[in-house]
Amino acid sequence: MELTKFVKIKQSKEIFHNEDSIKLLWPDFLFILVLIWVQIFGNVVTTGTYVFLIFYALLSNEKAIKALTMGVILCFLNPGLFSGSEYSYFLRWVLLFSSACRVYLSQIALSWTVPKYLFYLFIFSVASTIFSLLNSYPIFVSLAKIIVFFIGFSTVLLGFEQTTNSSWRSWYFTFFSAVLISGLPLLYMSEGYVRNSKGFQGILNHPQAYGIYMIVPTIWLTGIWLVNKKVSSIMKIIILGGWITIFATRSRAAILAAILGILFTVVIAFFRRPSWNKNLLMFIRKPVFIAMIFLVIIVMIFPRNIVKETIGDFIYKTPGSIYENIYNSRGFLIERSWKNFKEHPLIGIGFGVASDKEKFIIKESKNINIPLGASTEKGFLITALLEEVGIIGTLLFLIFFIELAKPIIKYGDLPSAWLFWSAFFISFGEMVFFSPGGLGMHVWLCFGLVINYTLKIKRIY
C-alpha cells in the first residue's frame, strides 16, 4: 500500500514538473513588448490602453490578473520616454474595481467559502476602520484606503486561487523578461537616468521603483537557476540582465530586500524545512557560485581602490557616516512614526495617514474633482503599522500575514520562498505594502504567484 502511494506521488511530481516548467511564451512576449512601447505615442494611446485593460479584465479571472499586472507598468512609465495619461490616477482605480468585479462574481458563482487568511485580512480591515473612525484626522481618506486595500489584496489572492490551472510561472517570466528587455538599451542612453542622472530607471519613473520592482522576479529566477540542474540559456540571460540593471539603480532597498529574504529563508530551512538545506548545498556546489566567489576574491585582491569606491558610493550615496546616511534616508521617517506611536500606542493615528498632517497632500482629479490619491512617505513597515493602527492592529496584521505565509513555509520550494520573503521585505526599506495604486500591487501579485504555485505543490502530497 505504501509502495503504491510512493509510486503515485513520484509520478505526480514528474507530471507536475514537466507541465509547470518555466518557458518564454513568445506570442505573449511580443504582445507585451508592443503594449509597452506603443505608449511612446502619447497620452491618448495610454488612456486607450487603460480602457482596453479595464474591459479586458472583465473577460476572465486570468485576464483580470494580467490586466492588473500591466496596470502597474502604466502607473510608473518613464517620463523621459512616455507622457503617460492625464487620467491615470482615475483609470487605475477603475481598472482595479473592474478586476475586482470579475473575481468577486466568479467567487460567488463558484463558492462562498474563502481561504482563512482572507478572513483574517477582513478582521484586520474592520479593526483598522474602527480605529480610524476614532483617531484619524482625515477620516474619509483612511476609510477609502482601507476599502481599496482590502478589495485590491483580496482580488489578487482570490484571482490566483481561482486560476490554479494556469501556467502563471511561465507567463510572469515572460512578462518580467519583456520589462527587462525594454529597459536594457536605456543603460547606454540618457533617458534611462532621467530622474537623477545617476541611478538607472529603465522604463519606469524612478531608479528606486525599478530596483524594488525587478529585485523580486530576479531573486526568484536566480533561485530557480541555482537549485535546478537544467535552466534555459534565455533564463540565464534574463537573470544576468536583471542583476546588472538592479545594481545600476543604486537601490539599497532592493538589495536589502534580497538579503533579508535569503537570510530569513535560511532560518526557516534550519528550523522547519530541512529539504531546503539540500537545495542550499546544491547551490553552493554550483560552478556558477564557485565562479562568483573566485571573481569576488580576485576583484578584492587587485583593484582594491575601485572596489572601495564602488561599494562606498552604493552604500553611502551622500557624504557622512553609515548612521547619518541611514538617518537621512529612512531614520527620520521611522523616528516620526515612533513618536506618533508613543502618543497613540493601542490604536494608532489612523490608517494610511501621514506622520505630519501639515505635509499630507490629497491629490484630486482636475476634471472630476474627487480625491484619487494621498501618498505618505514612510520607510519601515513595522513602525508604520504601529503608528497607524497601534499594537492591536499590528498584532491582527501579523496573524493575517502568518496565515498567508503558512503554505509557503510548509509546502513551498526554495525559489518560491525567496520570492515571497523578498517581496515582503521590500517594505522594510520602502513602505509599499499598503499601496494598491503603486508598487504594493506588484508585491501582492508576487504573493499571489507564489501561493498559486504552492497550491499546486500541495495537491501532490
| Chain segment 227-242, per-residue pLDDT in tens | 887 889 999 999 999 9
Please give the average per-residue pLDDT across 252-256, as a whole number. 89
Tell me, yes or no, whether 310 lies in a domain. no
Tell me, yes or no, whether 263 lies in a domain. yes
pLDDT (0 to 100) of residue 118: 93
Confidence of residue 150 (pLDDT cuts 50, 70, 90): very high
Tell me, yes or no, whether 212 lies in a domain. yes
Residue 373: strand, helix, or coil? strand
Tell me, yes or no, whether 379 lies in a domain. yes
Residues 6 or more apart in contact with residue 446 via CB below 8 angstroms: 216, 217, 220, 419, 420, 423
Name which of 408, 405, 413, 409 is nearest 227 in CA terms: 413
Percent of the chain residues topping a pLDDT of 90: 56
Please give the average per-residue pLDDT across 343-367, as a whole number. 78
pLDDT per position as a tens digit, 14-53: 444 444 589 999 999 999 999 999 999 999 999 999 999 9
pLDDT (0 to 100) of residue 278: 73
Confidence of residue 264 (pLDDT cuts 50, 70, 90): very high
Residue 201 has pLDDT above 80, yes or no: yes
Residue 282 has pLDDT above 90, yes or no: no
Residue 24: strand, helix, or coil? coil
pLDDT (0 to 100) of residue 5: 46
pLDDT per position as a tens digit, 100-147: 999 999 998 887 778 899 999 999 999 999 999 998 888 888 898 899
Name which of 53, 161, 59 is nearest 107 in CA terms: 161
CA distance readout (Å), 162 to 21, 155, 234, 448, 449: 20, 10, 30, 11, 12
pLDDT (0 to 100) of residue 327: 52
Name which of 83, 14, 5 is nearest 46 in CA terms: 83
Tell me, yes or no, whether 107 lies in a domain. no
Tell me, yes or no, whether 304 lies in a domain. no
Grid cell locating 50:
487603460
Higher pLDDT, 209 or 366: 209
CB 170 within 8 A of CB 22: yes
Phi, psi dihedrals of residue 373, rounded to the nearest 5°: -170, 150
Tell me, yes or no, whether 126 lies in a domain. yes
pLDDT (0 to 100) of residue 153: 94
Tell me, yes or no, whether 100 lies in a domain. no
Grid cell locating 223:
533561485
> What is the count of structural domains for the chain?
1
DSSP structure class, residue 352: T
Residues 6 or more apart in contact with residue 201 via CB below 8 angstroms: 78, 186, 192, 193, 194, 195, 207, 209, 210, 249
Residue 449 has pLDDT above 60, yes or no: yes
pLDDT (0 to 100) of residue 11: 43
Confidence of residue 340 (pLDDT cuts 50, 70, 90): confident
- The C-alpha atoms of residue 153 and residue 436 are separated, in whole angstroms, by 8
pLDDT per position as a tens digit, 151-165: 999 999 999 999 988
Please give the average per-residue pLDDT across 408-422, as a whole number. 93
Please give the average per-residue pLDDT across 203-208, as a whole number. 93
Residue 305 has pLDDT above 70, yes or no: no
pLDDT (0 to 100) of residue 271: 85
Name which of 199, 206, 210, 176 is nearest 36 in CA terms: 176
- The C-alpha atoms of residue 175 and residue 238 are separated, in whole angstroms, by 11
Full domain range(s) for residue 334? 2-38+114-285+317-460
